[in-house]
């Protein structure tokens, strides 16, 4: 299969025009003599271990969510393509897939902002909602500065979404699900925060890549895990 045909399928779903200006979505390594692809490894993050896995499993190409802003020389002999912020913003992308796995997609509030945040309107007791999140993450941290017991409108942003907390507040959310919350952000937050981990919030999106490509080429998932461990 021609590799550019595969990337066109991804870009039709998540156009590069949706990517942030600073982002490096698109081709990371384009090996001219390796135009035809028989097997693709799908991953969240390209690391030395993932590249080794790809080569050991005879993959011709790696498709990742996270980009590389510096490419080591040892990666230069395998095709690497990423869809990052364009996949985050695309309908059905990173955050939408998280909501789908939680079986909350029927309660999404449609906003015409074209942004990264999605909103779900449904009443939950905080302990019950936390239990739902435990299905996808064992590293949950909860911030509840006002000791709320119930939530009704929940903002979601997979990955590092702390910069959108104020946007969530302005859109009427009383809770926010994301990853990578810092101490001072937590202590000042006026709504309930659920930090489920960067890795845990984004890993579901690999299923989107698989659905886009499986009918065209053989796909395998990289063996990845969060760098954080519960003790």
Identify whether 228 is part of a domain: no
Whether residues 13 and 57 share a domain: the answer is yes
pLDDT tens profile 51-71: 999 999 999 999 999 999 999
Identify whether 129 is part of a domain: yes
How confident is the prediction for the chain on average, in pLDDT? 96
Whether residues 165 and 104 share a domain: the answer is yes
What span, in angstroms and rounded, lies between the C-alpha atoms of 17 and 84? Answer: 12
pLDDT tens profile 155-169: 999 999 999 999 999
Whether residues 101 and 49 share a domain: the answer is no
Whether residues 151 and 167 share a domain: the answer is yes
Residue pointed to by tokens 């993932």: 50
In this predicted structure, the answer to whether residue 214 has a pLDDT above a threshold of 80 is yes
Number of domains observed in the structure of the chain: 2
In this predicted structure, the answer to whether residue 87 has a pLDDT above a threshold of 80 is yes
What percent of the chain stands above pLDDT 90? 94
Identify whether 35 is part of a domain: yes
Tokens matching residue 134: 């435990």
In this predicted structure, the answer to whether residue 111 has a pLDDT above a threshold of 90 is no
Whether residues 183 and 217 share a domain: the answer is no
Identify whether 231 is part of a domain: no
pLDDT tens profile 147-205: 999 999 999 999 999 999 999 999 999 999 999 999 999 999 999 999 999 999 999 99
Query: Tell me, what's the pLDDT at 195?
Result: 98
What percent of the chain stands above pLDDT 70? 100
Whether residues 158 and 81 share a domain: the answer is no
Whether residues 63 and 99 share a domain: the answer is no
Whether residues 56 and 22 share a domain: the answer is yes
Our measurement of the distance from residue 129's CA atom to the centroid of its chain's CA atoms, rounded to an integer in Å, reads 20
Identify whether 214 is part of a domain: yes
Query: Tell me, what's the pLDDT at 75?
Result: 95
Q: Domain holding 163: CATH number?
A: 3.40.1390.30
Query: Tell me, what's the pLDDT at 139?
Result: 87
What is the average pLDDT across 93-110?
Answer: 95
Query: Tell me, what's the pLDDT at 114?
Result: 77
pLDDT tens profile 113-157: 779 999 999 999 999 999 999 999 988 999 999 999 999 999 999
Whether residues 124 and 65 share a domain: the answer is no
Identify whether 111 is part of a domain: yes
Structural domain for 213, as ranges: 3-88+204-221
Whether residues 81 and 102 share a domain: the answer is no
Query: Tell me, what's the pLDDT at 6?
Result: 97
What is the average pLDDT across 77-88?
Answer: 98
Identify whether 227 is part of a domain: no
In this predicted structure, the answer to whether residue 112 has a pLDDT above a threshold of 70 is no
Whether residues 111 and 183 share a domain: the answer is yes
Whether residues 188 and 110 share a domain: the answer is yes
Identify whether 19 is part of a domain: yes
């Amino acid at each position: 299969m021609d590799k550019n045909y595969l990337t066109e399928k991804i870009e039709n779903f998540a156009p590069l025009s949706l990517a942030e200006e600073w982002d490096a979505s698109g081709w990371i390594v384009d090996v001219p003599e390796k135009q035809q692809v028989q097997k693709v490894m799908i991953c969240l993050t390209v690391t030395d271990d993932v590249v080794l896995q790809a080569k050991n499993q005879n993959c011709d190409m790696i498709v990742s969510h996270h980009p590389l802003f510096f490419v080591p020389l040892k990666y230069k002999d395998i095709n690497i393509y990423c869809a990052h912020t364009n996949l985050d913003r695309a309908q059905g992308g990173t955050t939408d897939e998280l909501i789908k796995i939680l079986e909350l997609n029927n309660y999404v509030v449609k906003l015409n902002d074209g942004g990264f945040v999605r909103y779900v309107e449904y009443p939950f007791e905080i302990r019950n909602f936390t239990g739902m999140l435990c299905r996808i993450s064992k590293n949950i941290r909860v911030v509840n500065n006002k000791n709320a017991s119930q939530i009704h409108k929940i903002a979601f942003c997979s990955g590092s979404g702390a910069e959108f907390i104020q946007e969530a507040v302005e859109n009427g959310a009383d809770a926010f699900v994301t990853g990578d919350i810092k101490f001072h952000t937590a202590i000042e937050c006026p709504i309930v925060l659920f930090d489920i981990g960067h890795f845990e919030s984004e890993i579901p999106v690999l299923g989107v890549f698989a659905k886009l490509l499986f009918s065209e080429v053989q796909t395998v998932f990289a063996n990845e895990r969060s760098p954080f461990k519960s003790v």
